[in-house]
Amino acid sequence: MSHHHHAIDYVEFPAPDLATARDFYARAFGWQFNDYGSEYAGIRGPDADWSDPASVDSEPEVRCP
């Protein structure tokens, strides 16, 4: 992966249900995943030669007061 000045390098997507989030992103964008335990997964693009520029991690649901 080449690096570009002033470009987003990494992003995380918190989700209350990791399995559901993985299924959604796989179907919507063709993403594949590197598993790092039951609460965290790195994301790979379908045609990418890079790995883990983003992740999905299990987070409790956030509610506004």
> What is the C-alpha R_g of the chain?
13
Token pair for residue 5?
Answer: 């000045």
Q: What is the pLDDT of residues 31-48, one digit of tens each?
A: 888 888 878 888 876 666
Which region among 18-22, 29-33, 58-62 has the lowest average model confidence (pLDDT)? Answer: 58-62
Instruction: Give the pLDDT of residue 63.
Output: 63
Q: pTM of the full predicted structure?
A: 0.62
| pLDDT value of position 25 | 87
The structural domains of the chain, with segments of one domain joined by +, span 9-45
Question: Sheet containing 40-44: which strands, arranged edge to edge?
Answer: 11-15, 54-58, 40-44, 32-35
